[in-house]
Structure 1
Amino acid sequence: MRDRSAPGGDGPPPASFAQERAWFAARLTHDPPTYCVVDEFPMHADLVAGDLVAALALLAARHESLRTGLRVVDGRLTQDVRARVEPPVEHVDLSGLGPAEQAERIGELRAAMARRPFDLERPPLWRAAVLELGEGAWSVLLAAHHAVYDTASSFNVRAELTEICAARQEGREPDLPDLPCGYGEHARRERARLTPARRAELAAHWRARLAGLPPVHSVPLDHPRPAARTFRGAEVRAALPENVRARLADAARWHGTRPVVLLLAGYVALLHHRSGSDDVVLGLPVAGRAEAATLPMVGALVNMRVLRVSVAGDPDVTALVARVAAALEADEDHDIPFQTLVELVAGPRPPGVPPLYQLAFNHDPGGVLGAPASSCEEDLLLDVTDELVRIVYDVALFDRATVEALLADYLRLLAAALEAPETRLSQLVPARAATGAGARDPEPVVATAPATACEREVAAVWRDVLGTEVTDVHQDFFGLGGHSLQALKMLATLTAAHRAEVSLRTFFADPTVAGLATALLRDQRGGTA
């Protein structure tokens, strides 16, 4: 009998490749926070708790992943998609607490939700808490397993929750994006695309790209590598310095690339210095949403890609950035499920060594780092958001003091690379902070005023909505005090004026005057924002 929850095939849909990785990895680590993400969605509206519970129920009804568990059937991992689920939502009234007490209590709730394990065979693989904060302020904490949720899902959930709540307040039906196909159908399609011919083509590409790959990196360890991985981790974190944040966007434009490429190039340079190796290999998460049908989905679509960069010949910063960008581009059209890549490429490796890469990089521009990490899949992971940077490390291999020095060196090296892109890597050795009479005060951060007609128009609308002047096109809308419903109002005004269709999801990815102006102009030209 055809499974109505998964059109396009008989029986339950197979697990996607991303779900398959999460399922195997969850059985290795036995640590709930490793594969659980907790997002917070502030809401400002004339609502009651039941409205938010109903909004979450509507999300679950729309998105198959929020009604899905994983089961092994006849030796094959499959999706168990339920027709409906009861939203696992708790109402927590914090309206009687002051702001500091509320923040402390929310932090405790986030940590507790992350620690509670999920049974992958019992959907739904998410839970939520609706927090009543007083004076029309609400917040939704959503904890979800990575088998059904990823970073792009967070943007989609936030946009849909905002629209559902706005529609409820205005007494209308919510205007939500069409879902061209369900997640189960996506899983069937991605497996169908990996035909024997395509598999052979990908194998040829990656065997050439990874030929002679070092079995393990040469960054010095503090302790001998154990024969079996423990997955026990810790982290050090710091604020991304203001001088780096202020220069990053302009430097990226000067190099003709994206800010993430500069952040990644800085990490490559640091690993080159620490290891002495000219062959730097990293694991990078990729969104896995190249198809238009997957863009509005809530579900796990992330894949891991192996990035290999040569640092031979002592390039300057400009040349290194170009090499990193070229390496990213070379692999762009050769995405392959990581577990399949391991089957095709990985050879013998030392005991306790993860396959293909042991060092990783992740950039989540709109994200928050949440509770401190207590587990680690790689030896080292550099994790960067708009405001924070952290290194998550394997405590069996590294001491905290070593990682603290590593993070400090990364921030100094990154600042130096942005300031002097003509510097060769051999001269870009991270210098310790100057002290005493010779120390220099940090350079002041120079705001970038709205320059184009579109930027000035966006800034004017922001001023009307937020009640404050926007003096820097890189200021964050939410950092200036904006909230989701104000964002919806502001977008409605600007998209109508420009006859453009910029979604909330696009705005959340870059909530700045510069980012929104770029998206408006791009959409007017017929491109994809």
Structure 2
Amino acid sequence: MAEDACFELSIGQQALWFLHELAPDSGAYNVAAAMNLHCPVDVPALATAVRRVAAGNSVLNCVFRAVAGEVRRYRGGTETVLELHDVSADDAGARDVARRLAQRPFRLDREPPVRFTLMRRGGAPDVLLMAAHHIATDNASQVLVMREVLDQYAAVVAGVHRDVADTGADFDRFVRREREFLGSARAAKARAYWRDELGRAGGRGLPTDRPRPDVYRFEGAEIDVELPSETIAGASPFAYLFAVFQLLLFGFSGRADIVIGYPVSVRPDRRYRGAVGNFVNTLPLCARLEPGDSFGTLLARTREKLWRGGLYRDYPFALMPRLVDADRDSSRAGLVSVMFVMGFDDPTDPFYEIWEPGRRVEYAGMTVSHFDMPQQLGQFDMTLQVLRHGAASRAKLKYNTSLFTAETVRELAGEYVSLLRSVGTAQVGR
């Protein structure tokens, strides 16, 4: 390949490559998006749309290779095609197939980091599934790519030419900005902050049902959690739900301190809003429950830590273990074992309405809706993922099946809902 087709990786991408090399047969770091197509599908037209979108985006049309100890992204590679799978019209059966397709490992050194599949159900809407390795995309990127595929499909069907903008090119500018940041005074302040914060952290991890394997196993499952809507109203649901999650873990672990990770977007500004790539960083929140703390005190402390962490959000999580001389422990997922994740809709973008459960949306001449499926299982010991759609919320409690039983996690899910109710009642009564 030409020398100018070689690109540097971000620090986060380098960490994901390392994890991929540790467990090349794992799909834990695959991300997926899927939607029902409530209309007859022109398969050749959809295949053309997929091929054009993937070929025209430098972050998707690439392979990753290590040469002389340095990992680089190389433009070009095997063409992305639309795979076809006939599956059961039964929702449970279709979700199981979608999960298996999405978790199929990527061979990043010889195939593109994205796949598209049309699941043909016969008697039920066909499902368009996009699976990608996290090294190339984040959740916002998944939405951007799926929208471009639908736009291209509509254009192909109509016989109209539509250019494909290389929104992946913006990611290379982001990588250069990251390099500049790491040599700046701002990065020095961020290093000092995270070194001090992590230096105060106490014990790691949660008590487990099963002995922790010597080598971490990226395997997992999830349990749906019905959130009581009346208890999460307000201007700051992220901090509120995060604080209640801390209460849950304090009680479960019997510890007064625990480190919980949470993802943040590091897109530099609005110019990167339409860019495709991995623009996500993980930040650690070193949670602590002091004797005599009320929930209000814990919530205020959580808001303060989230605010301060946000000031230094650009410092790559992959570099943080070096700040506290944390040796790599093969039995653990990394510096944090527990995650809190909260996804938000973009109220200014009608396309996001597609991801609201049960809602059908007219887009590009088609009727589409969200197809819900399990994904990103086994990355951590435990993850609480909250999904917000307008005023409605739902949640999933993901867990590593080599460490916890389903019974334990169901109990924790029930306890979390109970805590939400009791804390909400106490807050209202104040």
Shift in Å at residue 158 of structure 1? Answer: 2.8
Gaps of 5+ in 1: 6-11, 95-99, 425-529
> Are 1:252 and 2:234 an aligned pair?
yes
Structure 2 residue corresponding to 1:307, chosen from 285, 289, 304: 285
User: In the TM superposition, what are the counterparts of 1:292-331 in structure 2 within 5 Å?
Assistant: 292-331=270-309
1:183 is paired with a residue of what secondary structure?
Answer: helix
Contact 1:215 / 1:350 at 8 angstroms: preserved in 2?
no
Higher relative contact order (CA 8 A, sep 6+): 2
User: In the TM superposition, what are the counterparts of 1:113-512 in structure 2 within 5 Å?
Assistant: 113-132=101-120, 138-168=126-156, 172=160, 174=162, 179=167, 181-195=169-183, 197-217=185-205, 219-226=206-213, 228-241=214-227, 244-248=228-232, 251-253=233-235, 257=236, 259-335=237-313, 336-347=315-326, 352-365=331-344, 366=355, 370-371=373-374, 376-386=378-388, 388-421=394-427
Contact 1:47 / 1:169 at 8 angstroms: preserved in 2?
no
* Stretch moving more, 194-203 or 260-269: 194-203
Distance in 2 between the 1:180 and 1:60 partners?
A: 10
Cα 1:245–1:308 change in 2 (3 A) is: same
Corresponding residue for 2:81? 88
2:216 is paired with a residue of what secondary structure?
Answer: coil
Corresponding residue for 2:66? 72
Distance in 2 between the 1:396 and 1:87 partners?
A: 34
1:391 is paired with a residue of what secondary structure?
Answer: strand
Distance in 1 between the 2:54 and 2:43 partners?
A: 17
Shift in Å at residue 282 of structure 1? Answer: 0.4
Shift in Å at residue 353 of structure 1? Answer: 4.5
Cα 1:353–1:190 change in 2 (3 A) is: same
1:117 is paired with a residue of what secondary structure?
Answer: coil
Distance in 2 between the 1:144 and 1:372 partners?
A: 11
2:112 is paired with a residue of what secondary structure?
Answer: coil
Shift in Å at residue 409 of structure 1? Answer: 0.6
TM-score, length-scaled by structure 2 = 0.81
TM-score, length-scaled by structure 1 = 0.67
Deviations 1:204-223 (A, max 9, x none): 11122222211424x43334
Distance in 2 between the 1:322 and 1:168 partners?
A: 53
Distance in 2 between the 1:102 and 1:397 partners?
A: 31
Cα 1:396–1:53 change in 2 (3 A) is: closer
Shift in Å at residue 103 of structure 1? Answer: 3.1
Distance in 2 between the 1:318 and 1:414 partners?
A: 13
Shift in Å at residue 39 of structure 1? Answer: 1.8
Corresponding residue for 1:467? none
* Stretch moving more, 135-144 or 336-345: 135-144
Structure 2 residue corresponding to 1:101, chosen from 78, 84, 89: 89
Contact 1:317 / 1:417 at 8 angstroms: preserved in 2?
yes
> Are 1:63 and 2:57 an aligned pair?
yes
* Stretch moving more, 171-180 or 325-334: 171-180
Structure 2: which amino acid aligns with 1:77? V
2:255 is paired with a residue of what secondary structure?
Answer: coil
1:418 is paired with a residue of what secondary structure?
Answer: helix
Deviations 1:376-432 (A, max 9, x none): 2432222233464333333444343322211211121122223332689xxxxxxxx
Computing the radius of gyration from Cα coordinates, the structure with the larger value is 1
Contact 1:179 / 1:293 at 8 angstroms: preserved in 2?
no
User: In the TM superposition, what are the counterparts of 1:42-53 in structure 2 within 5 Å?
Assistant: 42-44=36-38, 48-53=42-47
Cα 1:260–1:175 change in 2 (3 A) is: farther
1:296 is paired with a residue of what secondary structure?
Answer: coil
Cα 1:29–1:392 change in 2 (3 A) is: farther
Deviations 1:190-210 (A, max 9, x none): 223211644422211112222
Deviations 1:90-113 (A, max 9, x none): 23467xxxxx72535532431331
Structure 1: which amino acid aligns with 2:281? N
Percent of aligned pairs sharing the same letter:
26
Structure 1: which amino acid aligns with 2:82? V
Cα 1:139–1:274 change in 2 (3 A) is: closer
Distance in 2 between the 1:85 and 1:181 partners?
A: 19
User: Higher helix fraction: Structure 1 or Structure 2?
Assistant: 1
Cα 1:207–1:112 change in 2 (3 A) is: closer
RMSD: 3.3
Distance in 2 between the 1:296 and 1:393 partners?
A: 32
Cα 1:172–1:421 change in 2 (3 A) is: farther
Corresponding residue for 2:360? none
Corresponding residue for 2:9? 15
